[in-house]
Structure 1
């Protein structure tokens, strides 16, 4: 899911956003007409899911801008929408926009104002750019007694989309970044999940010398910033930062350079195959899924695939371990967390009904029901974003204890920088990491990237 779409040109996606925003703010374009939110939201008592009782929106049809219908969580929510319709009388028509064109479609609806959809989902990275088209939710949340108290810090940060004191979307799907490893190989070599990066790299060297597996299935492709996931986690865990308080690049500091050298070492020491300089998330996880790699670092939701006997190689059955990513010695780990949000488009004329669906999808009760349903592999998932569900013994028992592992990781995790320039910054950094993985000098490459970022207007 985290895999973004491939681009023909390096600046295509940021340019699309920039053009859309320019249309909105320029004197030659008035932008979309924002419909008043609260006037469309009806009053009344609510049920245990915070849905209005009495079906005040009975007969309303809302359109949901979404993608990725094959994702088990989204597929499960769509299958359960009949329950929502029965409760509320609201019919939901869901799109399934191909991910390759999803962002462009979101831009058309949120920034330009297509007027076709009533609500949408979006990945956290695009929130600061796309929040121009969605309604702040704080007033309706207060009216219905909804808070963000049941969400961990990075999910709350993503919900604000870079706007202090406002909630632009509610977390719908989110995950931690974890280390997955072959328990049988670790047992064979007398290893345990590593606590430090030095320990992990020693394990990679041992696995390389003692087995025929890739020690690590890495991902260093510049594709949509996928090579930044591990780098950012390592950077933050070593006390380094991307920027200072004034927005100046600081990833050229001694700590950041040393961290980057350690990250690139996995390629230069042959712990990950040479081809991984062109691998993204899908390539890396597929290598692990097929039994070709001993470890992989990726999003927690992949456990659903790694433990699916219909997808995974037979030798993975019962042999997939999952752990928090290592820390640097004497320092606190700080992993990267990722979030999908959902909210209400401000051009919608059905915002009240759309808000009901947002509440239903993001309720802890709906999420718990999805996490416990194991009847159909196509809709089976252990991903939860509510702390109450991640700590629920029954939810954990049904999902190989992944929710509690994710909870622990999320307590020190961070969201990506929530600012309007992040898509362009991400692009610059992703190219730099790919160049270093292909042999470029670390110090000078980071300095060049910092200079390029400083020139952004």
Structure 2
């Protein structure tokens, strides 16, 4: 437990009126009449109570949507749901739908909202304390291995209730929910990379969305030669390891990887060097500030009309079409396409997953399971992503494979998910190991140095040596 606590700490580097009617003065106030009236009222009341009981029994036998257990067996239970970012559109939708969930189950959900900046710290703190302060929780995929012991295995619940939609997810989304062969959650907030590009600029220059990375560089050059825009909003900056995202796409697409099966670093082999050279070469089509910025500023570069393309998460799309956030020439002019591929290979997308699960310290695990089922059900997924009634709940996040290709989903989201689907079929996530934060901090510095002109092979070799040291200290090679 001490080792577990230290491991967790290391990750800190995330709601009758009775109306009496009296007779007129001309009526005789006979006692019998009063008795008869009272008896009638009592009979009516009894009939109503019996009707209510019959109705409740009927509801108990009626099959509820979202896989929920009928009969309200947990009526009156309150559960605490640890979650971040209360203004995120998807989470706003969840909080509003919680009222519907309560009506069906009798379970009240209290949202324990935590800012993203301190969310990981809150999870770690609660996990070490083991107080049972929350019953359900979401977590970022790469955090899972560090507090796996604080999550409740879901297989007994899944088998009991006959849940069968685990296969209705892209494999990369499910990776974060199944750790060491045990399922601890279902993906509920997921993201995939797509190519966002300025349709008006492409139309004016007679360009087609690039299908390979080399084509992307050529398209970027054409854009820079004929407009005042940067070709692609690169982000090589150091700070949150975001500069590894596109590098990893090119590494995987080129047949390389970060580790071999024994967790020896191999990103400095021939495939890794070639992919890294490709990534560094994209600097010629990037904005001036690319060497010091992260993902957020790169997205802003497209939003403000500075850059014509960006490889990034699908949740960028609503921002590009928001008149209050984007430049006038950008709104309504950003299209989406699959992530480019390495020449001769299939496109590989980067995926991110936030599962929902049950705290092993919870005193209300069965009630929390009802909430997990409700959030993760394909129908919930569909209803949330197609609700465009107002900006507060307008999200493009969808987790189930069946919804990715759903015509309704794509109609109201501009075909965004059809663009993401090819890459997701062959998508990857970062290694799910407790040491990833330390490994990523080494790699992001190396990538930044290379983008600024450092020798590729030499820099990757030094990084590999440092990463091997981290893994050796962690006991991977014993």
Q: TM-score, normalised by structure 1?
A: 0.88
Structure 2: distance between partners of 1:95 and 1:182: 39
Structure 2 residue aligned with 1:100: 117
Q: Does the alignment pair 1:49 with 2:49?
A: no
- SS of structure 2 residue aligned to 1:409: helix
CA offsets 1:416-449 (integer angstroms, 9 cap, x no match): 2122222221221112112222332221111111
1:237 alignment partner in structure 2: 253
User: Displacement, 1:17?
Assistant: 6.1
1:153-203 CA distance string (max 9 Å, x none): 101212113x12x11111001121111110111111111011111111111
CA distance in 1, matches of 2:61, 2:143: 34
2:7–2:434 CA contact under 8 A, matched in 1 = no
Q: For 1:86, what is the secondary structure of its paired residue? A: helix
Q: Please identify the structure whose Cα radius of gyration is greater.
A: 2
3-state DSSP of counterpart to 2:114 = coil
**Does structure 1 retain, via aligned residues, the 8 Å contact 2:305–2:329?**
yes
For the pair 1:208 / 2:224, whether they are aligned, the reply is yes
**Counterpart in 2 of 1:135?**
152
Confirm or deny that 1:413 pairs with 2:402. Answer: no
Structure 2 match to 1:91: 108
Show CA shifts across 1:285-304 (max 9, x none): 11111111101111011112
Query: Structure 1, residues 395-432: CA drift from partner, whole Å, max 9, x if none?
Result: 21111111222222210111221222222212211121
Superposition misfits of 4+ residues, deviation over 4 angstroms: 43-46
* Whole-angstrom CA distance in 2 between matches of 1:272 and 1:449: 25
Q: Distance in 1 between matches of 2:121 and 2:215?
A: 43
1:157 corresponding residue in structure 2 = 175
Report how far residue 19 of structure 1 moved. 5.3
Partners of 1:348 and 1:196 in 2: CA distance: 48
Gaps of 5+ in 1: 1-14, 23-42
Tell me the distance in 2 between the aligned counterparts of 1:453 and 1:383.
34
Deviation of the 1:46 alpha carbon: 5.5
* Cross-structure match for 2:186: 170
1:39 maps to: none
SS of residue in 2 equivalent to 1:96: strand
Give the count of matched residue pairs.
419
SS, match of residue 147 in structure 2: helix
Superposed displacement of residue 113, structure 1: 1.7
**Local SS of the residue matching 2:291:** helix
Q: Secondary structure at the match of 1:171?
A: strand
Structure 1 residues 44 and 354, CA gap change in structure 2 (3 angstroms):
farther
Equivalent residues in 2 for 1:190-229, closer than 5 Å: 190-229=206-245
Matched, 1:264 2:280: yes
RMSD: 1.9
* Aligned match of 1:442: 456
Task: Specify the alignment match of 1:383 in structure 2.
Answer: 397
Taking structure 2 as the reference length, what is the TM-score of the superposition?
0.84
Supply the distance in 1 between the matched residues of 2:128 and 2:185 (Cα, whole angstroms): 16
* Structure showing greater relative contact order (alpha-carbon pairs closer than 8 Å, 6 or more residues apart): 1
> Residues of 2 paired with 1:378 and 1:300: CA distance?
17
Per-residue CA deviation, residues 177-232 of structure 1 (Å, 9 max, x unaligned), is 11111011111111101111111111111111111012111111222211111010
The Cα shift of 1:105 comes to 0.6
Tell me by how many angstroms 1:240 deviates.
0.9
After superposition, residues 323-402 of structure 1 pair within 5 angstroms as 323-402=337-416
